[in-house]
A and B are shown apart, each in its own frame.
Chain A
């Protein structure tokens, strides 16, 4: 996608925010394109919510600027900015009905009663809550409340939708269902959306682009696939999905030593003797019945076997590779008649192109 083909909708430049001596976010610069769905992803305390609140104007940045649609909004109060927001707690007004909650922001538009009613009905329809308009928030389930909050935020047709951990307070199943609903809604309305979450699975399933944050900084950004496959640090490799780490030392170009075994992998231009960590996803390791002369084939013993529905996670010990157990995910339908009971001797292969090498930190 070229710079010209899509318009930059929101631009954050060198934004920092301090709370006393605590630096919540540090020198963040990002551009978000019109219609994009982006996620700020990171562990709690990484500054993702502070960044969102700065964009909304609910916090004032210590330095830096924010531009929305080519207008600098850095110092505008929230009420002068153009966005709708959904909070983790929903923040629905408990004493107002679903209808009044959704129409709350429309009152300003000086619309006629009919126009408001038809707009609210349209929104209720959109979030699938048609028959609930007369109920109070307390009568709705968590997921329904979340959808009312979404409808309220979208009522005035804002140009930007901000979602602050919108699904965290919900049950697992409802969460997965709402993910799809929000995604569908985004596709239908084409509204530029920023979501804050600490749930990597949520970010990966919903976002066009993910900004991974840590200690107030963005440490990697890219599509969900890029981030999963090309994590640029052990932190991200560990935070996004599940990863096996193996300590090693560079021997020569594309060759590292782990304990008693030499592993082929892409060491790029790391110098010899550099301590490194190898990272490999559990689903990238193969099982071999017999010893093979492919690269990186090593013998191992099965220690434990977890059944996880569509796949099995096998814990193996390979003393020549690492002191720690390695996890290997094997899809159930690809399982051969190999003996996977604990104690069995097997061989495993670590394909060189699936191994990522990080300098030891």
Chain B
């Protein structure tokens, strides 16, 4: 079992990345030329500049997102504002759309014909301003999720102790709240940095002439067919993500849980000043998010923004060949297959890593493999797949240019988060279940089926939803891998925009949103309905009766 997972990762992650590295030290004809391509890269100021551009955009966006999301998470977890559920729901909306939707909406609001163009004081939205704003928008919910988790884990006794010692609110915030959330903040910063640094959709749509690494790779590979330079830039893109990843792993190791079983969960107290301030802030963020998604929808439904605002559905007809409804159906197929097969593969994989006895070294290797995808940008993974699977002498060459390769690529791309989700829920299960089964001579697969699977069902559904929505919205992983009969909705939206049909691009992006919302609703209904039966044991209150008196 373990060996087949290692083989899976070798085939679909390690070997492709290896091929990418080899490509970067070869010339057009496949001869080894050492670091010549890298020297070429350094001698090209335009390419080299992109690196600093990407770094600049990623750092600025990260700082803004961490501040905005921390404040929002603080409001949701540490204050008594009303409508918390509503605010949270709205704040997570950007997760449901491809990152380019934010760029399209910004074009409508602040572009050359934008309603609020005056706010830019003459600056153009096409460039760093647009990229940063759109990046902040689409990464906001990711940051919010990590930060609200780390802020919600807090021991109220610490605050009581501080209060008894006559500590000011500000000092308590600086000495208890911030240190408690420190690792969450570090982790968020690295996740957001990597996401923005490696994102392709946003700079493609709203970057204008401002070059970034991700768009450079695309230009080299698709525009100039210069695969070697594409490989070099890919490795330049991979490098900071890897560093960020390792620093994050290191800081996680140093993290000690501040919450013990004796802790008392923090319950916020009412405070008129703070609550009003935070209510205002959350309302402001919510309005902005609704304005963005609302504008994308509006733009998709009017005849000719901003001159003819009458209602029409014609932008949903997608008259450009190959970029229409068939790409939308392909996306749904991709999302569906990814959710089904990905969930099965990933959950069984996390069970193997977490619960089965196996060779410690092999397990260590598999664990490393499961973490690797998080540090590999989608664009890099996609490009490495071209190099590896398109090679004539590769026996599994036949999956190239099929739906299969898209599904596998997407599963690998989003493997880590799903895997860690699985591992977390499995860790909560008693580690002796397997021992008990063995002592009762029940084979482990029976136990897996009868106990592990039913108990983990809610998490398994969460994993499948995560995979589904990401498969719907991803651009960077698949931009190099689709072919004329496997075009995808998110990719189509980019090409529609490229051809100047912004309204159709908005319509396509909104189609993705509808499906994501629909699937979320189905998921919720499913969880509440069918899961009620399998999870009956969860809704019980423990019986505290004294054994001695009862017996």
Q: Which residues of chain A have a CB within 8 Å of any CB of chain B?
A: 56-58, 77-79, 81, 83-85, 87, 89-91, 93-96, 104-105, 107-108, 128, 135-144, 152-153, 155-156, 158, 173-174, 177-178, 181
Contacts of A142 in B (CB 8 A): 547
Given A91-B432, A139-B540, A139-B542, do A108 and B440 touch, yes or no (CB 8 Å)? yes
Q: Who on chain B is nearest to A136 by CB?
A: B537
How many Å from the CB of B431 to the closest CB on chain A? 8
Given A79-B441, A105-B441, A136-B536, do A96 and B450 touch, yes or no (CB 8 Å)? yes
Contact of B171 with A by CB under 8 A: no
* CB atoms of A77 and B440 under 8 A apart: no
* CB atoms of B435 and A108 under 8 A apart: no
**16 interchain pairs, CB-CB under 8 A:** A77-B438, A79-B441, A87-B432, A91-B430, A93-B433, A93-B450, A96-B450, A96-B451, A108-B441, A138-B542, A139-B541, A141-B543, A144-B543, A152-B440, A155-B440, A178-B547
Given A108-B441, A139-B540, do A56 and B433 touch, yes or no (CB 8 Å)? no
Contact of B291 with A by CB under 8 A: no
* CB atoms of A174 and B432 under 8 A apart: no
Contacts of A84 in B (CB 8 A): 439-440
Q: Who on chain A is nearest to B360 by CB?
A: A20
Q: Mask for B533-551, Cβ within 8 A of A = 1, else 0?
A: 0111110111111111001
Q: Mask for B509-542, Cβ within 8 A of A = 1, else 0?
A: 0000000000000000000000000111110111
Contact of B454 with A by CB under 8 A: yes
Cα A92 to Cα B187 in complex, Å, equals 35
Sorted from nearest, which 9 A-B pairs have the closest CB atoms? A105-B440, A143-B547, A136-B537, A78-B438, A91-B432, A91-B430, A139-B540, A87-B432, A138-B540
Q: Who on chain A is nearest to B538 by CB?
A: A138
Given A105-B440, A139-B541, A140-B543, do A95 and B551 touch, yes or no (CB 8 Å)? no
How many Å from the CB of A124 to the closest CB on chain B? 13
Contacts of A81 in B (CB 8 A): 439
Cα A84 to Cα B547 in complex, Å, equals 23
Contact of B455 with A by CB under 8 A: yes
Contact of B356 with A by CB under 8 A: no
Given A94-B455, A107-B442, 19 additional A-B pairs, CB 8 A: A78-B439, A79-B439, A79-B443, A81-B439, A89-B430, A93-B450, A95-B535, A96-B451, A104-B442, A105-B439, A105-B441, A105-B442, A108-B442, A136-B537, A138-B538, A139-B541, A141-B545, A144-B543, A173-B548
Q: Who on chain B is nearest to A137 by CB?
A: B537
Contacts of B454 in A (CB 8 A): 95
Contacts of A77 in B (CB 8 A): 438
Given A95-B451, A141-B546, A174-B546, do A58 and B537 touch, yes or no (CB 8 Å)? no
Contacts of B313 in A (CB 8 A): none
Contact of B161 with A by CB under 8 A: no
Contacts of A89 in B (CB 8 A): 430, 432
Q: Which of B437, B439, B450, B548 contacts A56 (CB 8 A)?
A: B439
How many Å from the CB of B439 to the closest CB on chain A? 5
How many Å from the CB of B458 to the closest CB on chain A? 12
Cα A171 to Cα B183 in complex, Å, equals 36
Q: Who on chain A is nearest to B453 by CB?
A: A95
Cα A226 to Cα B229 in complex, Å, equals 81
Q: Who on chain B is nearest to A162 by CB?
A: B439
Contacts of B435 in A (CB 8 A): 56, 58, 78, 85, 87, 91
Contacts of B440 in A (CB 8 A): 84, 104-105, 108, 152, 155-156
Q: Which residues of chain B have a CB within 8 Å of any CB of chain A?
A: 430, 432-433, 435-443, 450-451, 454-455, 534-538, 540-548, 551
How many Å from the CB of A183 to the closest CB on chain B? 15
Contacts of A128 in B (CB 8 A): 551
How many Å from the CB of A21 to the closest CB on chain B? 14
Contacts of B548 in A (CB 8 A): 143, 173-174, 177
How many Å from the CB of B187 to the closest CB on chain A? 30
Cα A177 to Cα B436 in complex, Å, equals 25
Cα A139 to Cα B542 in complex, Å, equals 4
* CB atoms of B537 and A141 under 8 A apart: no
Cα A108 to Cα B544 in complex, Å, equals 34
Of the listed residues B439, B534, B541, B542, the one surrounded by the most CB atoms of chain A closer than 10 A to its CB is B439
* CB atoms of A58 and B438 under 8 A apart: yes
Contacts of B436 in A (CB 8 A): 85, 87, 91, 152
Cα A94 to Cα B541 in complex, Å, equals 13
How many Å from the CB of B281 to the closest CB on chain A? 40
Of the listed residues B430, B436, B544, the one surrounded by the most CB atoms of chain A closer than 10 A to its CB is B436
Contacts of B545 in A (CB 8 A): 141
How many Å from the CB of A228 to the closest CB on chain B? 27
Q: Which of B439, B538, B547 contacts A85 (CB 8 A)?
A: B439
Contacts of B551 in A (CB 8 A): 128, 177, 181
Cα A105 to Cα B443 in complex, Å, equals 10
Contacts of A96 in B (CB 8 A): 450-451, 537
Cα A139 to Cα B532 in complex, Å, equals 17
Given A56-B435, A58-B438, A152-B440, do A95 and B540 touch, yes or no (CB 8 Å)? no
Contacts of B443 in A (CB 8 A): 79
How many Å from the CB of A161 to the closest CB on chain B? 10
Of the listed residues B454, B541, B542, B547, the one surrounded by the most CB atoms of chain A closer than 10 A to its CB is B547
* CB atoms of A136 and B455 under 8 A apart: no
Cα A181 to Cα B548 in complex, Å, equals 11
Q: Who on chain B is nearest to A104 by CB?
A: B440
Cα A181 to Cα B433 in complex, Å, equals 24
Q: Who on chain B is nearest to A78 by CB?
A: B438
Contacts of A178 in B (CB 8 A): 547
Contacts of A158 in B (CB 8 A): 439
Contacts of B534 in A (CB 8 A): 95
Cα A132 to Cα B107 in complex, Å, equals 65
Cα A56 to Cα B551 in complex, Å, equals 31
* CB atoms of B537 and A174 under 8 A apart: no
Cα A93 to Cα B430 in complex, Å, equals 9
* CB atoms of B455 and A173 under 8 A apart: no
Q: Which of A57, A95, A152, A177 contacts B537 (CB 8 A)?
A: A95
Cα A87 to Cα B434 in complex, Å, equals 12
Contacts of B433 in A (CB 8 A): 91, 93
Cα A59 to Cα B325 in complex, Å, equals 58
How many Å from the CB of A130 to the closest CB on chain B? 11
Q: Who on chain B is nearest to A93 by CB?
A: B451
Q: Who on chain A is nearest to B544 by CB?
A: A141
How many Å from the CB of A334 to the closest CB on chain B? 30
Cα A93 to Cα B434 in complex, Å, equals 11
Contacts of A138 in B (CB 8 A): 537-538, 540, 542
Cα A105 to Cα B541 in complex, Å, equals 27
Q: Who on chain A is nearest to B430 by CB?
A: A91
Contacts of A104 in B (CB 8 A): 437, 440, 442
Q: Which of B430, B438, B439 contacts A153 (CB 8 A)?
A: B439
Cα A184 to Cα B36 in complex, Å, equals 82
How many Å from the CB of B23 to the closest CB on chain A? 41
Cα A90 to Cα B544 in complex, Å, equals 17
How many Å from the CB of B522 to the closest CB on chain A? 23
How many Å from the CB of B198 to the closest CB on chain A? 39
